[in-house]
């Protein structure tokens, strides 16, 4: 398995870049709707603008949550508890960590066993 800290730092950087891009796109949509005199309620394009703004907002929130999860995983690496299940205390498999580096539980605890 790759060094967990290095893998998480790469994921963190990608997430920061994605967040910046989404924020820029969101700002552009907001600016475009502000500069036009579109009436979301009565303009046929209004619902599209509102949907786009809503979708970008949701994706931005998701990226922020991902960043929070990555930071928590980095804290677990620093504390020496990264590969330990928070629920049962057993090791989390390398395969699971490779697939989802921010997981907090082993596969058994995640599946409710």
Q: What is the mean pLDDT of each run of 10 residues along the chain (113 residues)?
A: 88 97 90 65 63 92 97 97 96 94 96 84
Instruction: Kindly provide the b/e burial profile for residues 6-27, where b requires at least 16 CB atoms within 10 angstroms of the residue's own CB.
Output: ebbeebbeebeebbeebeebbe
Q: What is the pLDDT of residue 52?
A: 87
- For residue 42, give both structure tokens: 């009565």
Give this prediction's pTM. Answer: 0.82
Closest Cα partner for 9 from 106, 105, 102? Answer: 102
Query: What is the predicted pLDDT for the residue at 43?
Result: 57
On whether the CB atoms of residues 84 and 92 are closer than 8 A, the answer is yes
Which sign, positive or negative, has the C-alpha torsion 10, 12, 16, 22? positive
């Amino acid at each position: 398995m790759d060094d967990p800290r290095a893998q998480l730092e790469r994921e963190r950087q990608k997430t920061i870049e994605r967040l910046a891009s989404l924020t820029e796109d969101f700002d552009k949509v907001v600016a475009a709707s502000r500069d036009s005199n579109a009436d979301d309620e009565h303009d046929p394009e209004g619902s599209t603008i509102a949907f786009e703004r809503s979708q970008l907002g949701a994706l931005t929130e998701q990226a922020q949550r991902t960043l929070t999860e990555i930071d928590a995983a980095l804290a677990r690496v620093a504390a020496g508890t990264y590969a330990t299940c928070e629920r049962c205390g057993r090791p989390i498999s390398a395969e699971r960590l490779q697939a989802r580096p921010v997981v907090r539980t082993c596969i058994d605890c995640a599946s409710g066993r």
